[in-house]
A and B are shown apart, each in its own frame.
Chain A
Amino acid sequence: MAPTTTPTLELPRTPREPGRPAGGGPRGGGPGDGSAVPSSVSPARIGAWLLVAAITVLFAAFTSTYLVRRNAGDWPAVFLPPVLWLTTAVLLISSLTMEAARRAAGRGTRASLRRWLGITTVLGLVFLGGQLVAWRQLAASGVFMATNPHSAFFYLLTGAHGLHLAGGIGALIFALTKAPAAPTHAAALDVADPVATYWHFLDGLWLYLFLILYGI
């Protein structure tokens, strides 16, 4: 699998980069006849940004509903479990370790890349575990989804964020298997960079949700 999959990380560039397709023929129209596309961005990076855009809209819909629904008059704010401060801190740190991994990929230091990706994965799992603890504590104190609108939104927003973060952990595990084994720095970065984009986004998204759930 490895020898065939590694080149595929580079292959999408061939249509854009004259001279590199399998045929390797001479460029059709001279030196100026390059592709119309800036070549430094891989499809996966664009894909990550588009995914971020779609998820932003999803949560914009959730939270705008929250802000409207909040004014309905039946809004007893739920006391949120303090463990959330801890999970927030863990997620913030995981963003730093993810950034370290991305930079390690850019430098081409594979051992360091593997280590930082691993630490980020573990921190992500700790975050999810902490969110589950928060759910259990709320449930133990008799607050469920149907208890009141604030608790409904709490479970909804943390749950939706948690699902996306679980997807992010899947992406991290994928990056752990692919990025350190990539043949070039650029290829490793093409794997690590979209994952980092997505992970930082989930971090920022959580801060936004946390602020809304606590403050507004």
Chain B
Amino acid sequence: MAVAHETTHEDHKLSWIRRYVFSQDHKIIGIQYLMTSLFMALIGGTLAMLIRMQQGWPGTQWGVAKFLFPGGFTGDGVLKPDFYLAVVTMHGTIMIFFVLTTALSGGFGNFLIPLTIGARDMAFPFLNMLSYWLYPPALVVLLASFFVAGGAPNAGWTSYPPLSAVPAAAPGSGLGQSLWLISIAILIVAFLFGSLNYITTVLQLRTRGLLMTRLPLITWAQFITAILMLLAFPVLLAAAVMLLFDRHAGTSFFVPTGLVVGGRLLTHQGGNPLLWQHLFWFLGHPEVYVLILPPMGIVSEILAVHGRKPIFGYGAMVLSLCAIAFLSFLVWGHHMFVSGMNPLVGSAFMVTTLAIAIPSAVKTFNWVATLWRARIRFTSAMLFAIGFVSLFLTGGLTGIFLGSPAVDTYLHDTFFVVAHFHFVMASAALFGLFGGLYHWFPKMFGRMMNERLGRIHFWLTFVGIYATFFPMHFIGIAGEPRRYYSPQMYEFLRGLHPLNVFVSLAAFGLGLAQIIFVYNFLHSLFRGQKAESNPWHANTLEWQAPSPPPHGNWGAELPTVHRWPYDYSVPGAPDDFVPQTTPVTAVPVAGGAGDDPAGDSPEHA
């Protein structure tokens, strides 16, 4: 395994392709992950608009959409039922695996881990390059499913068998479903390479003086996330392999006896579809924490930096990250309360599920306490971070309802669940992503984003998200199931039509507001004001490097760390921030782990 460390003078020797395409530089790889994810977000967002078109005005003839998606609409422009399911499936798959996981973990993880720990690169740069370059093939295979016979898969992002196991079950259960499984398998390998790299890098390549107790919370979050990914994704890989064999080799891992599809009795014998659900959710639940832990880290950084205050309860923040990660492996059954499980098992999963509320509440209170009497700078990054706390709280509270088997039996698979996870996981993670981009854009590209556009983007997005997803709680309580082609097909749902129209209009507004971000991002990339190395006056190591950092990140000498990252507004200090590289003899450590002033050696806590 090539463990290479190219120093700055080797920079000039690399060809353009080696520097920017097949690069082994963690910063380029991180930006590649981010850019590809943002591109996928445009596709996933467009699919969301299609969903809302259908939900708001089912059966309407859409002249233009017919030309954009010729296979998905009937001749007179009505969206086909199986295409609706394909759109729902692909929206979920793309947003969860190909946007949020790849952007937050692949993008920010790659860019920030070596910079925040004072390393020149990852431990295994070649593996890192391989990790990114498995991502485009995975997305090509996934998107190809739109263009094969039968179209994209219909089984939802959870791909429950038998719909996903029997090729004749639905139009999308054919080749499209196989492509979905292959695509996910490729992406899992990419994630494994990435997480293996992150863990090793954090453990082994920290610079002098950077104890684990002095790691910034973003790095802690990425570290814990990598452990989650390493231990959760192989389970989905195993399940995907077995499902592929069920589909193509005639085995019966998941397909039960006596299944009749299209009037034909299948030859499969004795498989168990619930097995897939167990395996899927053993990955699936840690996966939602894979999406939310990095934003938690991002938000912790932003609140401290833009609030000019030490993060409240650093130790509790780290411990709660660990507790959430540990508990996330014990709660998968709460996705299966209505699968006929023993009520005793259901109660056990309820207890573990509600237990996650404790570390989550610790984090939320600590964020609020950090903001308490802080000198808040309402930058775009800060607005999105505060927005994250709001969305996480709103979505987290409905999670307590859904965590109870009795309540979930009624709400299961309704729009209430859609509202819940779009707040707590999807929108909150998206806000973490936006906040992180506004915060680290100067470091990534050496230019500032436009703050005025950023604030407009925030307010439209924040209001848009609440307007889109909050009414879905009521739609769900009124009984509309998710994934149904049309709410108009049932008498008892017809009264929800005006609410569904409102949600759709809000969603379109939310979608349009993102154009502001795209414009701001692209414009700032080329025309933005030049950024200094530390525009936010932050303490962590990445802000000690130039913007953007050169190949190898640091000059001849690696930085030396003397303190924890959150010494903001220290009384008596010359500035309201004290970078981690400042010796304790210059400014005493105000809180957290720092060098012992007497011996000037790091304390080994």
Contacts and interface: CB of A to CB of B under 8 A. Distances in A.
B454 interface: no
Contacts of B275: 65, 68-69
A25 B205 CA distance: 19
B363 interface: no
Contacts of B1: 44, 47, 174, 194
A152 B245 contact: yes
A54 B123 contact: no
A69 B195 CA distance: 31
Interface residues of A, number: 55
Contact of A50 (B230, B242, B271, B558): B230
In the complex, the 3 A-B pairs of residues with the closest C-beta atoms, listed nearest first: A32-B601, A146-B250, A61-B238
Contacts of A27: 208
B253 A8 contact: no
Interface stretch (B3-11, B171-179, B464-472): B3-11
B238 A29 contact: no
A13 B417 CA distance: 49
A65 B602 contact: no
A65 B279 contact: yes
Nearest to B562: A29
A72 interface: yes
A23 interface: yes
Contact of A16 (B199, B205, B214, B560): B205
Interface in A36-55: 36-37, 41-44, 46-47, 50-51, 53-55
A44 B1 CA distance: 7
A156 B241 contact: yes
B249 interface: yes
A80 to B, nearest CB: 18
A15 B119 contact: yes
Interface string B220-243: 000000000011111101110110
A29 B252 contact: no
B600 A44 contact: no
A36 B212 contact: yes
A9 B251 CA distance: 46
B192 A54 contact: yes
A140 interface: no
B118 interface: yes
Contacts of A194: 1
A58 interface: yes
15 contacts: A8-B5, A15-B205, A22-B7, A30-B600, A35-B209, A37-B204, A44-B3, A50-B195, A50-B230, A57-B232, A58-B237, A61-B282, A72-B271, A145-B245, A156-B251
B4 A145 contact: no
A177 interface: no
Quick one: which of A22, A55, A61 has the most chain B CB within 10 A?
Answer: A61
Given A21-B557, A152-B245, A16 B279 contact: no
Contact of B124 (A47, A53, A59, A68): A47
Contact of A30 (B195, B206, B252, B601): B601
A185 B577 CA distance: 46
Given A32-B601, A55-B234, A58-B235, A12 B204 contact: yes
A33 B600 contact: yes
